Amino acid sequence: MIRIGQGFDVHEWADNRPCIIGGIEIPFERGLIGHSDADVLLHTITDACLGAIGEGDIGRHFPDTDPAYKDADSQVLLKEVWKMVKARGYELGNVDCTIIAQAPKMAPYIEDIRNNVARLLESSVEDVNVKATTTERLGFTGREEGIAALAVILLRKTEG
């Protein structure tokens, strides 16, 4: 049995915030705003996992009104959701993600992010793909007001 899930998230840029994407701190003049650490990519993957198992979305499980999640490490949130995935008897088939950002240039950090996502999903790095695109300066990402991320995940029932 296989299940598919998709995720999408947006966070706004701000000064004096760390830029954390995929659990990796990226040297950049700005960072992302959120109730948590605002890791747009990990939120997207978390939502894709929840979608695949029919469990709603990240805000339902980790409300942005709950002080427990103030400045939360999004890696911890994804790990919690991954436990739910495993408890239902699923493992990763593959996950494919896109970071939509005019800046920073993501290419130097993509492999580190990919390895970190594979670690969080207890999976092989070959089953994780992370890519980036600009929007050619168009729209809110192009104006560098914020960034967005998309993910599609395939889960499969573990054998036995």
Using CB under 6 A as the criterion, what x/- string covers residues 63-82 for binding ligand CDI?
A: xx----x--x----------
Binding partner of residue 134 among ligand L45E5XJ5, ligand CDI, none, CB under 5 to 8 Å per kind?
Answer: ligand L45E5XJ5
DSSP-derived letter for residue 60 is H
Q: Let me know: does 141 contact 100? Beta carbons within 8 Å.
A: yes
Q: Please, which residue, 93 or 140, has the CB nearer to ligand CDI?
A: 140
Q: Is 100 in the site for ligand CDI (CB under 6 A)?
A: no
d(CA 121, CA 117): 6
Radius of gyration of the chain (CA): 15
Judged by CB under 6 A, the residue of 81, 101, 149, 153 near ligand L45E5XJ5 is 101
What DSSP string describes 10-41?
EEEEETTS--EETTEE---S-EEESSS---HH
59 known member of a binding site: yes
- List residues binding ligand L45E5XJ5 (CB under 6 A): 101, 105-107, 132-134
